[in-house]
């Protein structure tokens, strides 16, 4: 008796070069693993399961991978957009005013938002991760977490634009210690659901010594280095002033470019930089929604893919995206790039879907465990109901419209059921592991308190 | 005793220059009209209502206006994208193979998709509208419909690219007759819910004589002319070959540019053309989702607004968008333009929301009836539940995040209740007027039959 059989589905296994479509497909799961993928007829005859899900009229595909998200910023969703100087003027007051407790409360909102929109793996990169990671553990999701490390004093928002940031080694040491504690406590825990990475916030925000120490630690633990790279003018300006080099050149000069590096954004990376990174085996994490909204820019992801580099997608942070939904990222990746290149053929739907599944898994180093429906992999998958006005009808011939409609029309609420590590985390839109309304209400109370505190602070500054 | 009181809402009345926010707001409705808008305290004391909706934790705003949609193409959603020659190679086989009955069945899918995503007014521009309009009537939505008129023979897809289309006057006469019958039968019917326009498909697709005759008829009936303008290379090439002029110059030369004209797309309109159109009082209907996906282009809507022109938003057709959801159009309008201009400050969220409500109403000539919550206007409004992980928390100070989150994070399924012409058409996601699952199943059966027919046709051509 195996634990779960899903049958009669339109399967997108994401095996092979495209999306691995199977009509009337089935997936057999035992405990946390996929033990068989194929036609319903065959699997139904072969396996007896404790639970059988009839997925007639539904699509089953690997759970989506959000390779870069700051869940700690969810509590101030939507307070900063349509503006210049997003970081300093927009999110600054909230970023500087929020408590660790509030960060943790807000973070759970993002986890639920993700689950309800098909995310099964969260590449969470934030601080204090020691608290945040408990939300992932409790919700039952897979995560790849890094405790963000910088050496920035907290009063940084008083700096003039263009002034070089002071770096404070005592801050770096404390945050590095926390990052190591996270690794020791959580890496490969929860049946392997939780994995860790080292997370320097940017080459401009930590000293060279600390960057090198973190790389050494990453090699010792066998984990990735997750870092923002080439985020734009502010960063480049700091790097030139401090080191006389742009970020990629600098990282190369200190031997940082290899396949354990995840480079997030590459907003203003040049063609040469992209080629160097891709050739070096570095992964690019592309966050189209966030960079489009905050900067009005489409990072060079097409060039990165053409150069043979590994690419994953991320939803980044709630203030300045303003959602954390991989259906939004897939669609944005596809259409923003068509607009950038004035060419509707670039980034077709199936490529976008691959970035959110199997390619994303490769980009974060979890391709042996997730990203496709394949025997031996972890049972992370979602069931999407196509019996919605916006996703129907389903046409299989002479063209198959399923992937196009998932990428260009689905919005996330069509994800009915989510299975992570073989456990049903959400069934028929009901999240089993966490009380959704309680999380929302708690977040609202925390936001009210944060909001009042910031209003008072502004008043006291003005008086 | 009035018919309906909605109370305790976050109101976006869309009155004034911005979004007209009211905290703890209420709207009183009697029959089809809004009779009072204000604070809950005041309205609650003043009115006794047959039905009271407590909208605590919810936003109430005017129903969204989809100023340009071809609902007749919904049955082949998602069959054509990521390609060049979208019209001829992509949708061609379906467009030419579908029956009137199938068009009508598919159309209802789009109506339901729209209702469930907050659309209350459908600017439907398709053929045969005589059949399609029954869906709008039955579903209880507001619509502004045009029976699309062209003089194109049905075997047009055999033309070589660049070859001038033949125009067939007998076709034009027949379709014009149908357009007039539609006006006579439906204009201002259903308590004024149904209004009509005249709909030549494009200046390249009907003769000058027919264009002029339609304009004359529009003046006689007091209705708009709804037409595709400057759709891109194909159209411009035809216009230059036929008349030696680009479309806008041609329309100007025949006296077509005035405030009764709705010009859809303007994909490749020049700055001078945009200024001429805006100055002439012509409305631009901007379809960012569709043109972004099909062409990789962002039409000059910023320039149109800067020139003082009226602008509405449209979702266009299901194959090549691939959704008909005004939340998608608002978000796309905002972010695509930021990308085009490399400037995050252009098209802020509140402007996008205005385009889908009050500005859209002006663009289609229904601003006296809909587009804002204002005493004397029709009661067309939606209730959006903000108690969703992706829309919470709600912050009112020091910045209000409601509009930003509606535009950048909401996806449509958060619309809980829809009121049109004072009637509750959808309540708690359940559509009262039409059986949603029956529509979906019927559309699937029709799509199966269409699909089989097209496969056979392709086989017979190949044999």
Tell me the C-alpha distance between B52 and A214, whole Å.
60
In this prediction, residues A447-451 reach a mean pLDDT of 98
* Cis, peptide link before residue A188, omega less than 30° from 0: no
What tokens appear for A23 in the block? 């009509």
User: What stretch of H or E contains A8?
Assistant: strand A2-12
A26-49 pLDDT, tens digit each: 999 999 999 999 999 999 999 999
Tell me the C-alpha distance between B121 and B380, whole Å.
9
- Residue A425, pLDDT > 80, answer yes
Cross-chain Cβ contact A110/B322 below 8 Å: no
- Residue matched to tokens 């061609």: B92
What ranges do the domains of chain A cover? 2-62+377-431, 64-364
Chain B, window 403-422: residues with a beta carbon less than 8 angstroms from a chain A beta carbon: 404-405, 408-409, 411-413
B91: DSSP letter: I
Cross-chain Cβ contact A440/B389 below 8 Å: yes
- Residue matched to tokens 């699509």: A59
Counted residue by residue, chain B has a size of: 463
Please list every residue in chain A whose beta carbon sits closer than 8 Å to the beta carbon of residue B297.
Answer: 339, 342
* Integer CA distances (angstroms), B18 to A165, A429, B27, B308, B348, in order: 38, 35, 19, 16, 11
Tell me the C-alpha distance between A199 and A145, whole Å.
9
User: What stretch of H or E contains B217?
Assistant: helix B208-221
Tell me the C-alpha distance between A325 and B408, whole Å.
11
Tell me the C-alpha distance between A145 and A19, whole Å.
28
Domain at A2-62+377-431: CATH code: 2.30.40.10
Contact, B129 vs B103, CB < 8 A? no
In this prediction, residues A88-104 reach a mean pLDDT of 91
Cross-chain Cβ contact B296/A346 below 8 Å: yes
* Integer CA distances (angstroms), A391 to A384, A414, A463, in order: 10, 9, 55
- Residue matched to tokens 């090699």: A219
Question: Mapping DSSP to helix (H, G, I), strand (E, B) and coil, where does residue A232 land?
Answer: coil
Report the pLDDT value the prediction gives residue B13, as an integer from 0 to 100. Answer: 98
Report the pLDDT value the prediction gives residue B370, as an integer from 0 to 100. Answer: 98
Report the pLDDT value the prediction gives residue B87, as an integer from 0 to 100. Answer: 78
Report the pLDDT value the prediction gives residue B160, as an integer from 0 to 100. Answer: 78
Tell me the C-alpha distance between B418 and B433, whole Å.
12
Please list every residue in chain B whose beta carbon sits closer than 8 Å to the beta carbon of residue A84.
Answer: 344-345
- Residue A55, pLDDT > 80, answer yes
Using only C-alpha atoms, what is the Rg of chain B? Answer: 22
Domain at B2-62+371-431: CATH code: 2.30.40.10
Task: Inform me whether the C-beta atom of residue A96 falls under 8 Å from chain B C-beta atoms.
Answer: no
Using only C-alpha atoms, what is the Rg of chain A? Answer: 22
Contact, B40 vs B25, CB < 8 A? yes
Report the pLDDT value the prediction gives residue A461, as an integer from 0 to 100. Answer: 79
Contacts of A269 (CB under 8 A, 6+ apart): A229, A230, A248, A277, A299, A300
- Give per-residue burial for B327-356: e unless 16+ CB within 10 Å, then b: bbbbbbbbbbbbbbeeebebbbbbbbbbbb
Report the pLDDT value the prediction gives residue A157, as an integer from 0 to 100. Answer: 65
**Closest of A57, A63, A48, A50 to residue A24, by C-alpha:** A57
ipTM of the complex: 0.97
Counted residue by residue, chain A has a size of: 463
Residues of chain B with pLDDT under 50: none
Q: Which of B315, B335, B389 has the highest number of chain A CBs within 10 A, making it the mutation to test binding with A?
A: B389
**Closest of A442, A453, A412, A455 to residue A75, by C-alpha:** A442
Task: Inform me whether the C-beta atom of residue B451 falls under 8 Å from chain A C-beta atoms.
Answer: yes
What tokens appear for B182 in the block? 């539609």
Cross-chain Cβ contact A390/B323 below 8 Å: yes
Tell me the C-alpha distance between A196 and A206, whole Å.
20
Nearest CA in chain A to B109: A389
**Closest of B384, B430, B429 to residue B407, by C-alpha:** B384
Please list every residue in chain A whose beta carbon sits closer than 8 Å to the beta carbon of residue B321.
Answer: 408-409
In this prediction, residues A395-417 reach a mean pLDDT of 97
Tell me the C-alpha distance between B333 and B344, whole Å.
12
Cross-chain Cβ contact B436/A389 below 8 Å: yes
Report the pLDDT value the prediction gives residue B271, as an integer from 0 to 100. Answer: 97
Cross-chain Cβ contact A77/B409 below 8 Å: yes
User: What stretch of H or E contains A339?
Assistant: helix A326-341
B378: DSSP letter: B
Tell me the C-alpha distance between A375 and A373, whole Å.
7
Report the pLDDT value the prediction gives residue A134, as an integer from 0 to 100. Answer: 98
Residue B83's CB is within 10 A of a number of other CB atoms, namely 13
- Residue A90, pLDDT > 90, answer no
Strands (E), A103-203: 119-126, 142-149, 194-200
B371: DSSP letter: S
Backbone angles phi, psi at A10, to 5 degrees: -80, 110
Tell me the C-alpha distance between A224 and A262, whole Å.
7
Report the pLDDT value the prediction gives residue B157, as an integer from 0 to 100. Answer: 65
Report the pLDDT value the prediction gives residue B293, as an integer from 0 to 100. Answer: 98
Cross-chain Cβ contact A81/B455 below 8 Å: no
Task: Inform me whether the C-beta atom of residue A326 falls under 8 Å from chain B C-beta atoms.
Answer: no
Tell me the C-alpha distance between A96 and B168, whole Å.
69
Cross-chain Cβ contact A404/B78 below 8 Å: yes
Query: What residue spans of B280-357 are helical by DSSP H?
Result: 288-295, 301-306, 326-341, 349-355
Task: Inform me whether the C-beta atom of residue A254 falls under 8 Å from chain B C-beta atoms.
Answer: no
Cross-chain Cβ contact A339/B336 below 8 Å: yes
Fold of A64-364: TIM Barrel (3.20.20)
* Integer CA distances (angstroms), B224 to A121, A160, B187, B364, in order: 51, 54, 12, 7
**Closest of A204, A201, A198 to residue A184, by C-alpha:** A198
């Amino acid at each position: 008796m195996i634990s779960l059989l899903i049958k009669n589905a339109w399967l997108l296994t994401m095996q092979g070069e495209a999306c691995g479509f199977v009509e009337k497909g089935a997936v057999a799961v035992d405990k946390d693993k996929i033990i068989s993928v194929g036609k319903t007829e065959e699997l139904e005859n072969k396996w007896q399961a404790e639970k059988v899900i009839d997925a007639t009229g539904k699509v089953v595909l690997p759970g989506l991978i959000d390779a870069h998200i700051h869940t700690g910023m969810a509590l101030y969703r939507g307070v900063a957009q349509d503006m210049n100087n997003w970081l300093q003027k927009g999110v600054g007051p909230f970023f500087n005013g929020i408590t660790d407790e509030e960060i943790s409360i807000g973070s759970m909102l993002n986890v639920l938002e993700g689950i309800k929109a098909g995310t099964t793996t969260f590449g969470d990169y934030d601080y204090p991760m020691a608290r945040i990671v408990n939300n992932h553990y409790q919700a039952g999701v897979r995560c790849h977490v890094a405790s963000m490390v910088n050496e920035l004093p907290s009063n940084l928002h008083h700096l003039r634009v263009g002034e070089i940031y002071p770096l404070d080694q005592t801050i770096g040491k404390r945050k590095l210690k926390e990052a190591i504690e996270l690794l020791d406590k959580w890496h490969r825990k929860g049946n392997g659901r939780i994995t860790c990475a080292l997370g320097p916030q940017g080459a401009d925000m930590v000293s060279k010594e600390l960057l090198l120490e973190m790389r050494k630690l990453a090699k010792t633990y066998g984990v990735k280095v997750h870092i923002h790279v080439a985020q734009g003018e502010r960063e480049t300006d700091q790097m030139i002033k401090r080191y006389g080099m742009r970020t990629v050149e600098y990282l190369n000069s200190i031997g940082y470019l290899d396949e354990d590096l995840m480079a997030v954004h590459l907003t203003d990376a040049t063609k040469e930089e992209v080629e160097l990174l891709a050739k070096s085996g570095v992964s690019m994490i592309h966050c189209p929604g966030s960079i489009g909204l905050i900067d009005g820019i489409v990072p060079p992801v097409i060039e990165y893919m053409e150069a043979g580099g590994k690419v994953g997608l991320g939803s980044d942070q709630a203030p300045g995206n303003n959602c954390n939904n991989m259906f939004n990222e897939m669609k944005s990746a596809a259409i923003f790039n068509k607009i950038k290149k004035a060419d509707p053929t670039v980034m077709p739907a199936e490529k976008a879907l691959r970035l959110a599944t199997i390619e994303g898994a490769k980009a974060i180093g979890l391709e042996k465990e997730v990203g496709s429906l394949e025997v031996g992999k972890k049972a992370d998958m979602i069931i999407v109901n196509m019996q919605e006005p916006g996703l129907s009808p389903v046409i299989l011939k002479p063209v198959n419209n399923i992937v196009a409609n998932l990428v260009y029309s689905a919005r996330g609420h069509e994800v009915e059921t989510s299975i992570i590590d073989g456990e049903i985390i959400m069934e028929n839109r009901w999240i089993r592991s966490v009380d959704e309304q309680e999380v929302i209400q708690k977040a609202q109370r925390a936001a009210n308190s944060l909001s009042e505190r910031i209003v008072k602070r502004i008043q006291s500054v003005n008086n």
